[in-house]
Structure 1
Amino acid sequence: MVPNDPAILLSFLNTRLRDDGCTLEELCAQLDVEQSGVEDKLAAIGYTYHRERNQFL
């Protein structure tokens, strides 16, 4: 299950991106969530996905 709270979601995703070694696209597919929805939710608290770092900053 994917956390609904944006701050917890941020930590959850960055941890999974780091530990699993997958891209955001791959992780969203594994979790069965829409990537655009995830990015929008985190953008609302000031974070964007950086492909080169493979994390939200």
Structure 2
Amino acid sequence: MSDKPEFGYGAGGRLLWTVRDRHAEVIRTVLRKVGRREFVGVLIGVQSCVRVLALSLIL
């Protein structure tokens, strides 16, 4: 494993080691662009991010 994350860095320097990390960051970016806050410690993984994105689009 390299010392550098394979998929770079997300907001706030978040390390993106896996495809899942990168996808979660893309979803977080979309949520931030539509004015949704990030819930640190509540969003765990891609599935939670997808749920929040779906709710954001409904509301």
* TM-score (normalizing by structure 2): 0.32
By percentage of residues, which structure has more strand? Answer: 1
